[in-house]
Structure 1
Amino acid sequence: MRIAILADIHGNLPALEAVVADLQTQAPDLVYLAGDQINRCPWNNEVMDLIDAWQWPAIYGNHEWIVAHLGTEKTQFAGRDRFPSLWWTRENLSPNHLATVCALPAERRLDLDDGPAIRLLHGVRGDPFVGMLPEAADAVLAAYLEPMEESVVISAHTHRPLARRVGRWQLFNPGSVGMPYNGDPRGQYMLLQSSAQGWQPIFRQVDYDRGRVAVAYRESGFQAACGPMAELYLRTVETGEPWASDFAYWMRFQTDELKHDPGRAVAAYVQQHGPGNWAFQLG
């Protein structure tokens, strides 16, 4: 048996289309989505249309959770000046797709005929905003994995492929379809092949026309709505480097004045940080 896991598409239709074409050459029996299907690229409705057409089971990631709760007391992502892409995404999603986003589960248990049961979630149990980093110590990862009764766990969120044995668990991350953070800008996903030794990962990388993303940013109105932050999202797509999330991390520690001045904040950030000198030090 062969299954495919896709994660962190982030509204990037050209990347998803390329991955779908590759999937057809690999012929998995089942496909599952591990969250963050939407936001940061402008094709959110088109991505959701494609997911609906294939009827792939999905879970929510932190971006679906935020979009579902914008305008409520459950989320701190209220300021349109600080979080324009989230608001743009919510306001441009069709009512049907927004309803789908709001109804997604946090996790899924995959009981499959030819291999051990799998726990699929976006981050860690109870928190889609926390990722299991490749550099984390076994003890840290084991604490996150302890609540899982399944011996195989798939977690996304970090945008970085991972296959690691941690105690009694096999831990996998499929990487990101639409915004990888491992220095490879190609669309990335994972196949799991059943074997006598359990699930064996096959990591796939698929090239696509990233120039379409810059054009769509302009033509959709996404770039105008998001301003300087759109530049960082586009850098992420083009380079496979974590500009988008690293900036968000850096912003946590800035003054309230700077947090509400995205243009000045982005300018200050790019002067200080980049490849080899990220604000969030990995490892």
Structure 2
Amino acid sequence: MPIMRIAVISDIHGNLPALVAVAADLRLRGVDQVVNLGDSLSGPLLPKETADFLMAQAGWIHLAGNHERQILELNERSGSGDVYAYQQITEEHKNWIARLQPVLRLNEEILLCHGTPESDTTTLLQVADRNATAQEVQERLGLQTAAVIACGHSHVARSVRTAEGQLIVNPGSVGHPAYEDNYPYPHKIESGSPDARYAIIEKMQHGWTASLINVPYAWQKMAELAAVRGREDWVTALQSGYMNQIRN
């Protein structure tokens, strides 16, 4: 039997139905704690409703992702997802996300971060569309010695155990299963499935383990909503987990 079981979610991006499905699934698994690593609201879907849901979850721990920061720091270069979220959420929501931190030490064994311990825009286990090397991971960890590091941002579900024995877990994205990005070079991230994703980390007698979990949900309404918002890239991603999917 596990000594401790923690659900890790990240990168919801305003996809409330996916979040609700994940919340229902993790309740069935009897977790002791839920942690949310950020990027919760930005996107063309349901930022206000997602914020309401998250704020109502007693005992959940929330971090700020880069998009929480960007929502509060709008400028002429801001992305449409950040602008839309800012326009939809209330002052109460803005005050809530302003209080969130991008890095948090959950306890003496577990470190939570959105990207890396030093950056909310750098991915810990990825470099664009490839896995980070062991050396790159170690450089991004710096002097962090936590037994478990939970990170998000990349939307790529992955778990790694370092040579030093540290367990690093990215739960993948709850609500945005594929996207295109131009940094540091043009690339695509594709999960290959419309499912919502999260992880459970467990402390057993022999140490920490991780499970990466896919949760099916009714994505059709979110794809329809993305179409109404004029975001065909989101439509394809939500339907398939791929970009530029060929349709019959």
Aligned residue type for 2:72 = A
Percent of residue pairs identical: 28
- Measure the CA separation in 2 of the matches of 1:85 and 1:136: 27
| TM-score of the pair, normalised by structure 2 | 0.84
What residue identity is the alignment partner of 2:194? P
Q: Which residue of 2 aligns with 1:184?
A: 193
Secondary structure of 2:213's counterpart equals strand
Q: Which moved more, 1:124-133 or 1:182-191?
A: 124-133
**1:65-99: CA deviation from partner (whole Å, max 9, x where unpaired):** 1111114xxxxxx246xx22211111111111111
The residue that corresponds to 2:99 in the other structure is: 103
Determine which structure has more spread, i.e. the larger CA radius of gyration: 1
- Please say if 1:52 is aligned against 2:55: yes
Quick one: which amino acid aligns to residue 237 of structure 2?
A: T
* Gap runs ≥5 in structure 1: 72-77, 244-269, 276-283
CA distance in 2, matches of 1:215, 1:234: 7
- Residues 41, 213 of structure 1: 8 Å contact kept: no
Contact 1:165 1:171 in 2 (8 A): yes
Are 2:190 and 1:193 equivalent residues in the alignment? Answer: no
Letter in 2 for 1:30: Q
Q: CA RMSD in A?
A: 1.9
**1:179 aligned partner, one-letter code:** H
| 1:124-143 equivalent positions in 2, closer than 5 A | 124-132=116-124, 133=126, 135-143=131-139
Hey, what's the Cα distance between the residues in 2 that align with 1:24 and 1:231? 33
* Unpaired runs of at least 5, structure 2: 178-189
Q: Deviations over 1:182-211 (max 9, x none)?
A: 212201100112102222112211111111
Contact 2:11–2:39 (8 Å) recurs in 1: yes
What is the CA-CA distance between 1:24 and the residue it aligns to? 1.8
| Structure with more of its chain in strand, by fraction | 2
Greater helix proportion: 1
Q: For this pair of structures, how many residues does the alignment match?
A: 225
Q: Give the secondary structure class of the aligned counterpart of 1:5.
A: strand
Partner of 1:261: none
Q: Which amino acid aligns with 1:173?
A: N
Greater displacement, 92-101 / 132-141: 132-141
Q: Which amino acid aligns with 1:36?
A: D
Query: For each residue in 1:53-72, what CA deviation from the matched residue of structure 2 results, as whole angstroms up to 9, or x when unmatched?
Result: 1131111111111111114x
Question: What are the within-5 Å matches in structure 2 for residues 21-170 of structure 1?
Answer: 21-55=24-58, 56-71=60-75, 78-79=76-77, 83-111=79-107, 117-132=109-124, 133=126, 135-168=131-164, 169-170=166-167
Deviation at 1:149, TM superposition (A): 2.9
Structure 2: distance between partners of 1:4 and 1:231: 31
Structure 1 length normalisation: TM-score? 0.74
Distance apart, 1:218 and its partner CA: 5.4
The equivalent of 1:246 in structure 2 is: none
* Equivalent residue, structure 2, for 1:171: 168
Name the residue aligned to 1:204. Answer: 213
Encode CA deviations 1:232-263: one digit per residue, 9 max, x unaligned: 1222222223x4xxxxxxxxxxxxxxxxxxxx
Displacement over 4 Å in runs of 4+: none
SS in 1 for 2:56: helix
Seen in structure 2, the aligned counterparts of structure 1 residues 170 and 161 have a Cα distance that, compared at 3 Å, is same
